[in-house]
Amino acid sequence: MTPAGWTVFLVAVSGMTGLLIWCVFKVVSTPGSEKHLHSPADIDTHDH
pLDDT in tens, 1-48: 899 999 999 999 999 999 999 999 988 887 876 676 666 666 667 776
Quote the pTM value.
0.60
Task: Report the pLDDT value the prediction gives residue 4, as an integer from 0 to 100.
Answer: 97
What b/e sequence results for 15-41 when a residue is b if at least 16 CB atoms lie within 10 Å of its CB, and e otherwise? eeeeeeeeeeeeeeeeeeeeeeeeeee
Task: Report the pLDDT value the prediction gives residue 45, as an integer from 0 to 100.
Answer: 72
DSSP-derived letter for residue 40 is G
Task: Report the pLDDT value the prediction gives residue 48, as an integer from 0 to 100.
Answer: 63
DSSP E strand stretches across the chain: none
Task: Report the pLDDT value the prediction gives residue 43, as an integer from 0 to 100.
Answer: 67
Q: In degrees, to the nearest 5, what angle opens at C-alpha 32 toward C-alphas 29 and 38?
A: 100
